[in-house]
A = this chain, B = another copy of it.
Amino acid sequence: MGEPGFTLTEVRLCIIGLGLMGGSLAKALHSKVARITAQDLDPAVIEAALADGAIDEEGTPNDADIIILGMPSHRIVETIQTLDVHPGQLVMDLGSTKQVICEAFDGLPDRVSAVGGHPMCGLAENGYHNAIPTLYRGARFVLCETVRTTPQARQQAEALVCALDAIPLWIDRRRHDALTAMTSHLPHLLNFALMRLAMDIADEDPDVYKLAAGGFDGATRLARTDESMLVGMFGTNAAEIRALTRRLRQHLDALEAILDDEDALRRELPPIVEARRQYSDDYGERPIA
């Protein structure tokens, strides 16, 4: 980025948590940085990443320049609070909520840099074994300023995001959490509620799944998400999700009330169809959650 003292090819990266997101980041960056070390709770994941050449060795963040936290949101907060960091290091995360995490970043020692991060990409199936080097390509990568975000940290974070072929998008932490409650967390909650209901119906009539097709698949696909990620997502953004769930119920009630009112349906539905098609035209359609 033309900043003295910072070239991505000289960066030593340490990734803590080699799941889908951390693992894909390692695979995307291993040829673009000086070294990648990693830690994961599962020794088999470290072995696999070493065998893949996605990381150079297992190792602590001790002598890394940039530390990436790739765990579920609630674990990121815990980790920040106990992380042994040095002046000059930059800490970033990949968590799905930003307020609680950025507050933890705010409390890091002076002269340690920190930037909150949330790449807007993923797959329904998590874990290192699903990691792919192209996961971030073309995705928006939210960046959130913290008390510990220096101008240099901003540039480093942006350079890292660009090296992933992603698009940096700086957003206030509070706004991020309100908006992703809409675009991600509430959809997760609804997918789970719908799948939970399907389990009840399947108990009553096991043939129900034979009558399912792509519509059901798409409306429940997020219920394949690992529970740890959900615990972090739901637990660190519960208030925003609840505020939206209240508003969703109003729309659900309103639509339910007109199910058999053709005139009302013909008034209410077309603007929604139009908005969804416009969204698809503007932002593309990603076939898998």
Q: List the B side residues contacting A200 at CB < 8 Å.
A: 247
User: A218 contacts B248, CB within 8 Å?
Assistant: no
Is A43 in the interface zone, CB < 8 Å from B? no
| Residue among A189, A198, A244 facing the most chain B CB atoms (10 A cut-off) | A198
Which of A24-32, A62-70, A271-279 makes up part of the contact surface?
Answer: A271-279
Residues of chain B contacted by A183 (CB below 8 angstroms): 198, 208-209, 211-213, 215-216
| Neighbour of A201 across the interface among B74, B120, B179, B221, CB < 8 A | B179
Chain A residues with a Cβ under 8 A of chain B:
74, 120-124, 139-140, 142, 169, 171, 175-176, 178-180, 182-184, 186-202, 205, 207-227, 230-231, 234-235, 238, 241-242, 244-245, 247-249, 251-252, 255-256, 259-262, 265-266, 269-273, 275-277, 279-280, 282-283, 285-289
28 contacts across the A-B interface (CB closer than 8 A): A120-B212, A122-B214, A171-B207, A183-B209, A183-B212, A187-B220, A188-B215, A189-B259, A191-B219, A196-B272, A197-B244, A198-B279, A199-B275, A210-B283, A212-B283, A214-B288, A214-B289, A218-B219, A220-B279, A223-B275, A224-B277, A225-B273, A231-B266, A231-B269, A234-B260, A238-B259, A238-B260, A287-B287
